[in-house]
Amino acid sequence: MPAQSTPKPSVQPHRNHGLFSDHYLNATLPGRPDWRELAEESGATMEAVARALDAYAPSQNEAQTEEDLVRPVLRILGLDFEVQPPLQTPEGTKRPDYVFYRDAVSRDSNKDRTLTDELLRGNAFAVGDAKFWDRRLDVSVKKGSAAFSNENPSFQISFYMRHAGMKWGILTNGRLWRLYHKDTAHKLDRFYEVDLPALVESGDAKRFLYFYAFFHRSAFEDHPLSVQSILKESEDYARSVGNSLKRQVYEALRHVAQGFLDYPENALGPSPDTLREIYDNSLIVLYRMLFVLYAESRNCCRCTRARCTTTPTVCTRSSTTWRIAAPCYRRALRSGPNYESCFASSTRAAHR
């Protein structure tokens, strides 16, 4: 099997870059009975892919990478494809590496024809492009005379999808396998990606499932675990989280604003001008807190991790957030929430 180099294996078995909901992929899917059953089905495919990887010698020759690795893996996945068919585009005839058809009959019906989105409609479901082993998939190369083939691969797959009228696009360099959707492919940075050798080397069918379930032929059929269903349920989940977040932000904004009013040293009254100023400043406070929370969740803050020893039920908090919130939290445990004292203690903590 080709030696592991960059990118380094991640904790998650995938690198979802905004195409699906991370929480849906990491928490919801593993709990589904049909997902667990699919993991059992994927074992034979993982063994076959492992053999293909073992037989492959890494090469910077694109055609050789396709012949020795990409096409064997595509066949293992049960995909019917045509290699480099001519595709009509506004920039002349282009040749994507692969068009994936629903079946061999649909593929053969378009043999020796210059393809258009009309010819492909109902017959094909995805277009694909392959690069040499470990080629970077987000940058252009500066050598050679074939300008389009040296373009940013993410741009190329988006271009092919748009002019082929395909809903899905598959891009690979042998190691990394990416899935793009027509609604977001033009952004270039919205995709789902796996490191195939890393998943195979793990020997874990549950991890390998994050390749199998998204690239196998069955992934593009109409069923509850198809990529289209996963995308829709991800969007539904994100929408519900967004609605919940709106409610929470509204409540947080109300509490912050009330703190401005209740804090005696502010000496504020509920006049329309004052309320407008309170509202504006409450938004500033809230945005800053959200920024801090987001930065800490991404481990961007250079602060030590501190555990609250007085509240055993509370998990580890980052010192920045907990330093601001802890005084209010402890006071609320003793005597209930109090906007005035909360505002004062949080203000002092925030300025330390």
Domains of the chain as residue ranges with CATH: 15-225 (3.90.1570.30), 244-350 (no CATH)
Whole-angstrom distance, CA of residue 77 vs CA of residue 217: 6
pTM above 0.75, yes or no: no
Residue 265's pLDDT band (boundaries 50, 70, 90)?
A: confident
Per-residue model confidence (pLDDT) at position 238: 80
d(CA 58, CA 73): 15
- pLDDT of 346 strictly over 60: no
Bridge partner residues of 128 (DSSP): 98, 170
> What sign does the CA torsion over 119, 124, 127, 128 have?
negative
163: exposed, middle or buried (Cβ count in 10 Å: 0-12, 13-18, 19+): buried
Nearest to 80 by CA among 125, 122, 45: 125
For 133-147, write each residue's pLDDT tens digit.
999 999 987 765 556
Say yes or no to pLDDT of 4 above 70.
Answer: no
Q: Is the pLDDT of residue 76 over 50?
A: yes
Q: How confident is the model at residue 141, as a pLDDT?
A: 76
Q: Which amino acid is located at 160 in the chain?
A: Y
Phi (first) and psi of residue 40, to 5 degrees = -65, -35
Helices (H), 10-152: 22-23, 33-41, 43-55, 62-65, 71-76, 104-109, 117-120
